[in-house]
Structure 1
């Protein structure tokens, strides 16, 4: 059975069910299990000399383990593949979390801060309404790329092994891929491999947002914003989302009590935004999902009939 057909089924299953609390309150999510393994390796190997070499060894081990596990689980049949793929996609849960921020802001600023604190790592205690909204929209754009489009892309290209390799590397990057004293060397390999695996999906996400919003005339400005972004990949979907919604994103923000003066994305657009723009971002998430489903369906039809 073709991976494109399995992906269509998985995308629809994820969109319908998301991540039901009744299931994950009774068992551990696969991403949590992957994180447990990475945490164990971090605790035992991220010390002493040769930390970069140890980090490379960790990534090689994780990739090989994910490849072996993916091939083994694929032998259990297409139903297992569809269920696992659906579990490792994050469309419905992403929309749910971002929409919650909009609902929180509509209720009160403190509620909006509490909700956005669940999806971003920056300081949220003193955020203004606009900062909360921008944070939610930036998270929506970035996670659309690495939580939905990238997993779907790698499943389509390499089946369940490709999906598990991507999710494992992406999880490792989120845990140890920081430019801090502790992880600068040990997390170097995971961060660089995650950048490589997201190279195509991030730009594909950008193109899909632009196609849906019709903002082709601003393509050169989007490319410039993306290249100024702190991340080599996240800037692409953020630049496209900013122009699709006609809002300014990024800019200064605080991490661990220290303000970082980061470049604005679409800086000439309105900066004082709120819940309505967050809800519009949620609408765009579903539009991109629909376009992705359509493209995969066309791929399936072409490969099946021709």
Structure 2
């Protein structure tokens, strides 16, 4: 069975079932296992001199382990490949988490704040409705790239080893790829590798968002993306801001400190609410469908 056909079935399975609670309440999720591996490497190697070199070694161990495990699983046949790929995609769970913010916000600010705190790392306690909505939409755009398009892309290029390596690196970046005193040196290699692996998928995600809505102001998307603090996250975020006609990013608070970040599509609407989050959920599905059709075209060819 070809890679594109396996991916189509995996995408359909993930979209239909998501992450069944009955299963993952009994077994550790692969993301949890990857997190444990990153934590173990952090505890064992993040000490002493030469932290950048130690971080590079940790990344090499993680990637080799993920790639080797992927190769072993792939030997069990296409059914195992499809099931594993479906588990490592996150379309359904992303839609559910973003949709929960809209539902919570319709009940009131406390409900919206509680729901958005599940998907963002910024301070949420004092958020008003527009900030809650912007946070949810930004998370939707970024995680469409990181959790759906990028894993699918690397599965197409490298099969199960490819998608597992990508997920392992992405997990490492989310845990140790921060410019903190503990991780700035040790997590440098993981952060840069994550940037590299997301370089093409982030721009592909922006393309799928635009094409699925019949709006692709690429020059404006590129301009806003380059103002983002991340070399990749700004692309899907800028594309979603354009198709929804909303302003995203801007000032936000982390650990009690307000950061004056640049606006994305800053001249568009800023007073947004649950309705715009609903539109973002619709955008997630339309972009997913565009990606599915692209893979289907590859399978037919």
Q: Secondary structure at the match of 2:186?
A: coil
**Structure 1 residue 44, shift from structure 2 partner:** 1.6
What is the 5 A alignment of 1:161-200? 161-200=161-200
Question: How far, CA to CA, are the matches of 2:254 and 2:17 in structure 1?
Answer: 34
CA RMSD of aligned residues (A): 0.7
Match of 1:115 in 2: 115
Is residue 267 from structure 1 mapped to residue 276 from structure 2 by the alignment?
no
Residue aligning to 1:63: 63
Instruction: Look up the match of 2:236.
Output: 237
Q: What is the match of residue 227 of structure 1?
A: 226
2:104 aligned with 1:84: no
CA deviation after TM superposition for structure 1 residue 215, in Å = 2.5
Partner of 1:100: 100
| CA deviation vs aligned residue, 1:111-166 (integer Å, no higher than 9, x gap) | 00000000000000000100000000000000000100000000011100000000
Task: Determine whether 1:52 maps to 2:52.
Answer: yes
Instruction: Measure, in 1, the Cα distance between the counterparts of 2:101 and 2:47.
Output: 39
What is the match of residue 10 of structure 1?
10
The CA distance in 1 between the partners of 2:212 and 2:62, in whole Å, is: 37
Task: After TM superposition, give the deviation of residue 213 of structure 1 in Å.
Answer: 2.2
Aligned counterparts of 1:133 and 1:101: Cα–Cα separation in 2? 8
In structure 2, the partner of 1:250 is: 249
Q: Secondary structure at the match of 1:271?
A: coil
Between stretches 42-51 and 270-279, larger displacement belongs to: 42-51
Map 1:126-165; keep pairs closer than 5 Å. Answer: 126-165=126-165
Deviation at 1:288, TM superposition (A): 0.7
CA distance in 1, matches of 2:97, 2:12: 19
Cα offsets for 1:248-299 (capped at 9, x unmatched): 0000000000111100000000111000000000001000111111110110
4+ residue segments displaced more than 2 Å: 213-216
Q: What is the match of residue 37 of structure 2?
A: 37
**Which residue number in structure 1 is paired with residue 74 of structure 2?**
74
CA distance, structure 1, for counterparts of residue 239 and residue 213 of structure 2: 9
Question: Structure 2: how far apart are the matches of 1:48 and 1:125?
Answer: 38
The number of residues matched between the two structures is: 301
Instruction: Determine the C-alpha separation between the residues in 1 that align with 2:218 and 2:56.
Output: 36
Tell me, in whole angstroms, the C-alpha distance in 1 between the residues paired with 2:49 and 2:215.
50
Q: Tell me, what secondary structure is at the counterpart of 1:254? A: strand
In the TM superposition, residue 214 of structure 1 has moved relative to its aligned partner by: 2.6
Q: How many angstroms apart in 1 are the aligned matches of 2:88 and 2:248?
A: 28
